[in-house]
Structure 1
Amino acid sequence: MAETVVIGANGFIGSHLVDSLSAAGHTVRAFDRFSSGRPTFDPSGVELMRGEFLSRADLEEAVAGQDYVLHFLSTTTPATAEGDPTLDVRTNVAQTIELLEACVAAGVSRFYFASTGGAIYGEQGKSEYSETDRALPVSPYGIGKLTIEHYLTYFQVRHGLASTAFRISNPYGTRQHVNKKQGLIPIALRQIALDRPVVRFGDGSMVRDYVYVEDLAAMLTSAIGVEPEHDLYNVGSGVGHSVSEILESLARVTGRELVIEERPRPATFVDRVVLDPTRFVTEFGSRPLTSLDEGVARTYAEILEQMNG
């Protein structure tokens, strides 16, 4: 199998992707700071490479000799990017350009990028969004992701670096870092476990496309190393759940009555984002998806284990 490096290998999606790629037979190099001290994925047969994303030298070492580079690292979250938009530009955007330059120099065959499906389409009032819809992000996080997508096109035209962007919906599940303050489900579950109120932005009617992270990793793995027909794919469940429906699932799974603390909906939060994954499924196939309650149950079990451990 091809030599494959995952940038951000110890992150939420990246760690599951390493496990999935390794199980599928890929030769995997895992690049990360490993700030937690140890890999959260199964390290068996995986080459661990500790390094800094903001170091050009470390990136050059990471991509050397690799066929495929999977960029699944972000220095910001939607919240931190909104708090300091220039941080996203100075770190995520600028350093991804350096990573792309390193890939060109190393002769990488294809570059895969984790873009966002939840923030890139903006508020267009559609029931679901396909890749042919306009990208109209209204948040710094989404704007940064779209900017990188444009740079992928530039590097394809200017340097011949093939690339694929995955517009990923709202992933949730195990290994999600609650301290990054990203992800309604793990944050709310931790609050429930601590007997604290759950924060709800707005009236609970906002709709998102949630996908369990192990399902997402399997979907992405099926596309790695396959010659694609397109350079852009939506990757999600294709099913929308409102915030209220999510909170109802959390209550069912935990058996707890939730105490809700309502806060105003931030101006950059869109009302509804559900992705149309038809293009991806047509090319790479479909697979059974984990139900919402089952995914929530697995996530809650890990949170309780961490708290009691």
Structure 2
Amino acid sequence: MADVLVVGGNGFIGSHLVDALSEGGHRVTAFDRFSTGVPTFRSSAVRMLPGDFLSRSDLEAAVRGHEVVFHFLATTSPATAEADPTLDIRTNVIQTVELLTACAEAGVRHVYFASTGGAIYGPQERSDFSETSPTLPISPYGIGKLTIEHYLRYFGAKHGLRSTSLRISNPYGTRQHPNRKQGLIPIALRQIARGESVARYGDGSMVRDYVYVDDLVRMLVPLVDADPRHEVYNLGSGRGSSVTEVLDAIGRVTGAPVRVHEIPTPATFVDRVVLDVTRFDEEFGISVPTTLEEGIAATWADMTGERA
């Protein structure tokens, strides 16, 4: 069993991850702001470590004594990074370099970084991307993620810090905060719960690879004890769904009419992204069994339960 730090451990993916790691017997520390004072995760065995990602001293204290670090904290979303690219550079990129410096100095064995499996590839003639596909991001969010991937290679060459970039597709599921304005599924479900119309980019033909959070975490947990053969992995369902297909599934799950109002698609959005997850599947053999409709149903049940 390992001493594991999850940076962003009270967030959407991070909270699920710390629960699963704790259930697996690992000694887990969740580093986050914990601004409400209440953890999102459920395990009482997880150590809460309140701290500020923008503080070098907090990062140094957090990584000390840990063998494995999962970096799953983001200070921006695709929308906020596009609104102010310098914010992404100042907070995500620079502070991740600070985190990696602290990891190298503390003797951390392995860092796993939550990259992006969509924005990092950018618009290309192909629509199904493997880890060897060109990375041509045109959004500040994707550019920032790719920059961090390059810094991971630098820290490996310079300091011997082992790391793996996880290019995650479009995760969704329970505990996802719809008010962050990131993620079609939670935002659409919240709008329907409020009796509002659903904002849809373009004509609904945009395609993404949606992965349910429980499936994603099932892929992440074995990495703690693994010796990955590659420095980059795509993590997703390997299946593409259009916005129209997602909204149709939401309508079936909720039993509510899905009223749509169309909004312009940002120029930096990619029309179609589906991840080829063959590399990860062949090495780790972990399936992604949850269908889109099953995942939406679980997310809706969790959301309406919170509202009750």
**1:156 is matched with which residue?**
156
Distance in 1 separating the partners of 2:63 and 2:289:
32
Q: Which residue of 1 aligns with 2:42?
A: 42
| Cα offset, 1:65, TM superposition | 0.6
4+ residue runs of structure 1 moved beyond 4 angstroms? none
Query: In 2, distance between residues paired with 1:15 and 1:109?
Result: 22
Q: How does 1:60-99 map to 2 (within 5 A)?
A: 60-99=60-99
The 2-side partners of 1:98 and 1:288 are apart by 34
Distance in structure 1 (CA, Å) of the matches to 2:179 and 2:186: 10
CA distance in 1, matches of 2:218, 2:126: 28
**Native 8 Å contact 2:19 2:46 kept in 1:** no
Range with bigger deviation, 280-289 or 96-105:
280-289
Compute the RMSD of aligned alpha carbons.
0.8
Contact 1:238 1:274 survives alignment (8 Å): yes
Task: Give the superposition deviation at 1:12.
Answer: 0.5
Kept after mapping to 1: 8 A contact 2:169/2:211: yes
Contact 2:164 2:231 in 1 (8 A): yes
Q: CA deviation at 1:45?
A: 1.3
| Residue aligning to 2:170 | 170
Q: How far 1:127 sits from its partner (Å)?
A: 3.3
SS in 2 for 1:154: helix
1:238 aligned residue: 238
- Conserved 8 A contact 2:2-2:224: no
Shift of 1:78: 0.3
Compute the displacement of 1:43 (Å).
3.0
CA distance in 2, matches of 1:26, 1:288: 23
Query: Which letter does structure 1 place at the counterpart of 2:51?
Result: G
Q: What letter corresponds to residue 100 of structure 1 in structure 2?
A: L
Q: In structure 2, what is the Cα distance between the partners aligned to 1:14 and 1:126? A: 31
In the alignment, the residues of structure 2 paired with residue 288 and residue 184 of structure 1 have an alpha-carbon distance, to the nearest angstrom, of 20
Instruction: Tell me whether 36-45 or 258-267 shows the greater mean CA deviation.
Output: 36-45
Q: Say which SS state the counterpart of residue 141 (structure 1) adopts.
A: helix
1:25-64: CA deviation from partner (whole Å, max 9, x where unpaired): 2111111111232111123211111111011111111100
Aligned-pair CA distance for 1:288: 4.3
Aligned-pair distance for 1:160?
0.5
Question: Structure 1 residue 302: deviation in Å?
Answer: 1.6
Counterpart position of 1:120: 120
Q: Please list the CA deviations of residues 66-120 of structure 1 after superposition, one character each: whole Å capped at 9, or x if unmatched.
A: 0001100000000000000000000000000000000011000011100000110
Could you report, residue by residue, the CA deviation over 1:251-302 in whole angstroms, capped at 9, with x for unpaired residues? 0000111110011111111110000001111111122421111110111112
Q: Deviations over 1:147-167 (max 9, x none)?
A: 000000000001100000100
User: Which stretch of the first structure deviates more once superposed, 261-270 or 88-97?
Assistant: 261-270
- What is the one-letter code of the residue matched to 2:285? G
CA distance, structure 2, for counterparts of residue 35 and residue 178 of structure 1: 17
Q: Which amino acid aligns with 1:211?
A: V
Number of aligned pairs? Answer: 308
Q: Contact 1:208 / 1:240 at 8 angstroms: preserved in 2?
A: yes
* Counterparts of 2:43 and 2:98, CA distance in 1: 27
Q: Which runs of 5+ in 1 are unaligned?
A: none
Alignment of 1:189-200 (within 5 A): 189-200=189-200
Partner of 1:201: 201
Indicate if the aligned counterparts of 2:218 and 2:286 stay in contact, CA closer than 8 A.
Answer: no
* Equivalences for residues 9-24 of structure 1 within 5 A: 9-24=9-24
Larger mean CA deviation between 194-203 and 32-41 belongs to 32-41
Please name the residue that 1:212 is paired with: 212
**How many angstroms apart in 2 are the aligned matches of 1:126 and 1:161?**
33
Amino acid of the residue matched to residue 178 of structure 1? P
Contact 1:125 1:272 survives alignment (8 Å): no
Q: Secondary structure at the match of 1:188?
A: helix
Mapped partners of 2:64, 2:286: distance in 1? 33
Partner of 1:277: 277
CA gap of 1:135–1:179, structure 2 versus 1, over 3 A, is: same
Identity over aligned residues, as a percent? Answer: 64
CA 1:58–1:283 in 2, change beyond 3 Å: closer, same or farther?
same
Q: Is the 8 A contact 1:223 1:284 kept in 2?
A: no
**Structure 1 counterpart of 2:183, one-letter code:** G
Within-5 A mapping of 1:44-59:
44-59=44-59
Corresponding position of 1:141 = 141
Scaled by the length of structure 1, what TM-score is found? 0.98
Number of the residue aligned with 1:256: 256
Aligned position for 1:221: 221
Unpaired segments ≥5 residues, structure 2: none
